[in-house]
Amino acid sequence: MNINQFNAIVDQISNAKTKQELHEISLAFCQLVNMPYYVIGVFSQDSLYSPAIHTLNNYPKDWMDLYAEQNRHKNDPVIAYMLTSHSPVRWDKLLKNERFQSVEQVLFMKQAIKYGLSNGFSIPIKSISSEFAIFSMAIGEAENAIDIMDNAQPFAHTFATHLFERFLAILSQEEIKQFELTKRERECMFWACEGKTTWEISKIIDISERTVLYHLNNSTKKLGAINRQHAVAISINRGLIKPNL
């Protein structure tokens, strides 16, 4: 792949309007770098205990179903590595590290091979609003698999950052539509995010304290939050409340 081809496919990402368009662009990128499989998983920050995971991928469906049904992420050495490192990693090199050689992790990788995911690399990405993502590309058994991966990874790193940014924007638009707040609700929530009390907010925006409480309660319900503090966290993490720049 030459640089002009790469720039053209990156430009396509910025113009994508749907997840399906991003998926098709990712498939085209796979062909350009001779890597048959890709996956990007975006981990939401709404809940630390049970974060939502949004994915785009063309991994074998049977493997993805098995992965989800049996919570395979708990034994995935790539996930374990990505939670403690910011550097891309090739899977064969990862498994040479004693930290990722538990019985469960070795078994996990052996099972992946059965589904055509013999080797690959993974790239961690983090957004300015704290969303975390992993972009991986995989390949089956091939004599020149290492050369293919080494040639693909530099392009994949830049591709992944653009893909993540656009994927996040599309997800955010979906969430904004789903959890759309009124102008007054956003205004009250903005000051709640600043740590202001109901009384203080009422004085700042010149409405009654009871009205402020009404708007904050509505916002909390719309966001599916447990309380005001939870609503504040969700509002910030989803980008519903923006800094006053």
More confident residue, 62 or 49: 62
More confident residue, 20 or 44: 20
Q: What is the pLDDT of residue 2?
A: 81
199-213 residue pLDDT tens: 999 999 999 999 999
**What integer pLDDT is reported at residue 86 of this predicted model?**
84
Instruction: Look at residue 51 in the predicted model and tell me its pLDDT.
Output: 64
| pLDDT for the residue numbered 129 | 64
pLDDT in the model for residue 46: 59
Residue 178 has pLDDT above 60, yes or no: no
At residue 174 the predicted structure's pLDDT band, cuts being 50, 70 and 90, is low
Give the β-pairing of 119-126 and 89-90.
antiparallel
Please list the residues that pair with 89 across neighbouring strands.
122
Buried b (16+ CB within 10 A) or exposed e, 45-74: bbeeeeeeebebbebbeebbeebeeeebee
Which one is predicted more confidently, 75 or 148?
Answer: 148
More reliable by pLDDT, 37 or 49: 37
* Average pLDDT value for residue range 113-128: 91
pTM (whole model) above 0.85: no
